[in-house]
Structure 1
């Protein structure tokens, strides 16, 4: 945000385009008050140009692609969209006006490891066209510079055009006001992982649980059944909040937990995602910390709530099963390392089968 605003203000950039892998990550780039903290300008994204709020993805003639084209014709400066929308919109605009339509624009690509140096990677091919022309500003953002496969993110000649800036977890924690420590641990189970859930899941902590990948040795049934058994280990499922779609699970002590199920990919998931992204604010327009923290107690996910997912209240990331990719682990750890009031410690636990 700060870099984009400086470029818009002082470096001759006319538009800032922020592209994220999935819609849930777009919430990290919503309108944000920066002037209250000493910056000269707020980050403002008009709702019509936040293309991560709703709608279909991955179609060349979708409403979002048309909206992106309208943004490029407008006088507004900031748009947030997914990688898919950016890819299709770029192709449409470049076909009509050439790559020069993106001259003097900042292209900020979040989770940059989705780019690949191979010819088959469309995002990588678009990036090379922009770098070859050398008229756009490109910002690459990622928590891990590795893709999880053997393909490099950038070709050497393209990488040489970037200035690298590394920001470690230690530097991140040093700059925080509240969060001061991070714990990383392993726990082990025999048989099925559900037998050890009670031992590693502290339901007093705000927690993201990632169940095993489908087809892995740790997965023992249908994904919905596994979520149900996690609920049973916590207590009794007593219903669903009609406004948010969060599941309500009562512990033995009577406390009812509000749990967001992101494993269920049915029609109700968009409502759950929207409820998670909606920040609860007070009369002054700023976040109501107590209310926003109480909104949800736990998130259960499979492929979501990893890279770029922003839930500042997360205190514990519990990942079940081995992960072959260090990039994936780094991304999950990052879900717990957000600074928030009354949050002194963050914990990552990997629950795996006994060797």
Structure 2
């Protein structure tokens, strides 16, 4: 057994005010009401967590578009057949809406037998009929557009569920088709996603297309804060050595309703025999008692005498796996907590899988897609009676110097940390940043703490109901264009996702920063590296807007990190959902002035390193640091150019260029950037 132990890298506690589960007079929850208010928009993007009711929100909007906005038909497009059931008939009028949602059985092509060719022909028959709603998979829809052209869908609503499957990449057919629909401009599009960033950090739509969409955002904070039962969510990673199957009971608690995702057979963590791994897990939990003839669940007697019901979705024998899968989806058992105890899966039980009782999502091995991690965590964040705590654990093999694949192991470790940092941002309240000026004043609806609003200081206000911070920062650049303003309001997590997935930023920020005895300055990350990422991600923005986006993204990331540090170590650890809020407020009070230069001088990865140091053995930590420091490149031409650009700003503010002899390490670094470019130029002239 390893001596490692699980350390939650994120632990968030919420108020449980019941707001997100209450319905209005039309039977709409908060998120659905917010989306319905935008029902007249031609292009609508709904960003909302799993289990927040996106499917029903779409029903309300689609019914209005069909009845009141003159659209002929609604086509609902889902990534896989199983998700088609989310759009089954709903008696909406029973809860106050003016009509019901009905799908003629033959037009839910997710349930239809046969090959794609037959389903594509069915799409054509539907388009020529007077029926109103069709449900099909992304694949069927792509083939239908290929065969009939975008014009065949004129004057219809195209609703794309799990929109993160779409990409602006020319090889992504669905993304290409959506671009064509938007260019033709004769359909309405409602796009829905439970992910706040793409796992591959690739744009979902081209910028000119994305700007056409009106966005409805419902945050994880609002969703979880408004639950009735679930109060605390822990997210952590656990390092082990040897075979994970030998150590899984260190993190798998048989008393918790758990989904275990075993590693992909091509991953480092896999033993290459997935069936043996499942048998090993079952054996570790207790004594096998046979198989339930009705459900196909494995029955296991624990040492305490309890009979566990374990659903094995890894079995390659289709008839067995389908029986288990059907038992899990049995609507009669949806509210039965005792129906199943543990689900073991590999590629299943992720997106769209609904088991409200899940308390622990345990994933073995790093998942390359951050979107996939969000989806897996979403399995545990359902609200259910008596379920007060949920957790996600990522079980990762500790890097081992004797392994040939040590660099791969380090990469997996870095990716797990990136995912953890991102989840902190996703789970935190929403940040609204404004520059601190003599004209600044309090904003209605925001609580500014004990002393109230202080006109002499940078203030931090919080609105409990909306889950939003209002934070004043001296020297903050404001976005000028509509698109930059949209990014600062809606897409900061997209920017942060690209930053924390940037290998160089992660490696140098974690293992070459001052906290780790290294030489990388925080500004090299917050200004140079983040600056480059924003430039690459939003080339259509001018320099001023790029700088505004950079500052807002750095402020969101670093204030979350400082708040977490204070919340974890301060006297408010037990104050639950106010800990993060108090952490941000205390940090703002502790510093003389909350200004952007001060925020730029915080290493975004310092707190993550502190948690890693508690989680990983000291020997492994040193080994990883040695690998990273061995790869350090002193300066690249791109970094030198970015340093020179920062030096120009410095000259505009101070009236002089940075000095290479300055005692301020950041000023010295900018001067080194100028000198590096001068040497490059001289060498080119002498060549």
Relative to the length of structure 2, the TM-score reads 0.46
Q: Which has the higher helix share?
A: 2
CA distance in 1, matches of 2:142, 2:84: 16
Asked if residue 22 in structure 1 is aligned to residue 80 in structure 2, the reply is yes
**Corresponding position of 1:44:** 102
Asked if residue 174 in structure 1 is aligned to residue 225 in structure 2, the reply is yes
Query: In the TM superposition, what are the counterparts of 1:67-78 in structure 2 within 5 Å?
Result: 67-78=122-133
Deviations 1:209-261 (A, max 9, x none): 11112221111131111111111111233333333333333323333333222
Query: In the TM superposition, what are the counterparts of 1:202-351 in structure 2 within 5 Å?
Result: 202-268=253-319, 269-280=321-332, 289-290=335-336, 293-351=337-395
The Cα shift of 1:171 comes to 0.9
CA distance in 1, matches of 2:307, 2:136: 36
Contact 2:200 2:370 survives alignment (8 Å): no
Change (3 A) 1:68 1:248: farther
Asked if residue 353 in structure 1 is aligned to residue 404 in structure 2, the reply is no
2:151 pairs with one of 77, 94, 100: 100
The alignment's C-alpha RMSD in Å is 2.4
The Cα shift of 1:118 comes to 2.1
Change (3 A) 1:9 1:233: farther
124-133 vs 5-14, greater mean Cα deviation: 5-14
Deviations 1:140-166 (A, max 9, x none): 111225332253211111111111222
1:84 pairs with one of 114, 136, 139: 139
CA distance in 1, matches of 2:184, 2:317: 43
Asked if residue 117 in structure 1 is aligned to residue 161 in structure 2, the reply is no
Contact 2:126 2:134 survives alignment (8 Å): yes
Relative to the length of structure 1, the TM-score reads 0.86
Contact 2:198 2:370 survives alignment (8 Å): no
**Corresponding position of 2:66:** 8
The Cα shift of 1:82 comes to 1.6
Contact 2:258 2:359 survives alignment (8 Å): yes
Contact 1:27 1:310 survives alignment (8 Å): no
Change (3 A) 1:212 1:37: same
Deviations 1:145-202 (A, max 9, x none): 5332253211111111111222211111133333233221222322111122222112
**Corresponding position of 1:284:** none
Change (3 A) 1:150 1:75: same
Change (3 A) 1:30 1:340: farther
Contact 1:16 1:107 survives alignment (8 Å): yes
325-334 vs 19-28, greater mean Cα deviation: 19-28
1:196 pairs with one of 233, 247, 257: 247
1:164 pairs with one of 212, 215, 219: 215
CA distance in 1, matches of 2:209, 2:314: 38
Contact 1:186 1:351 survives alignment (8 Å): yes
Deviations 1:59-80 (A, max 9, x none): 541x433333333333332232
CA distance in 2, matches of 1:76, 1:236: 55
Q: SS state of the match for residue 157, structure 1?
A: helix
Higher Cα Rg, which structure: 2
Change (3 A) 1:37 1:157: same
The Cα shift of 1:17 comes to 1.8
The Cα shift of 1:123 comes to 0.9
Q: SS state of the match for residue 131, structure 2?
A: coil
Asked if residue 136 in structure 1 is aligned to residue 187 in structure 2, the reply is yes
Contact 1:205 1:297 survives alignment (8 Å): yes
The Cα shift of 1:54 comes to 5.9
38-47 vs 323-332, greater mean Cα deviation: 38-47
Change (3 A) 1:39 1:340: farther
Change (3 A) 1:147 1:331: same
Change (3 A) 1:275 1:320: same
The Cα shift of 1:126 comes to 1.6
Q: Which has the higher strand share?
A: 1
Structure having greater relative contact order (Cα 8 Å, sep ≥ 6)? 1
1:66 pairs with one of 121, 125, 139: 121
Change (3 A) 1:47 1:150: same
Q: SS state of the match for residue 164, structure 1?
A: strand
CA distance in 1, matches of 2:340, 2:130: 38
Contact 2:106 2:112 survives alignment (8 Å): no
Structure 1: where are the runs of 5+ without partners? 282-286
Deviations 1:279-321 (A, max 9, x none): 117xxxxx6x23xx33322221112222222222222111112
The Cα shift of 1:33 comes to 3.9
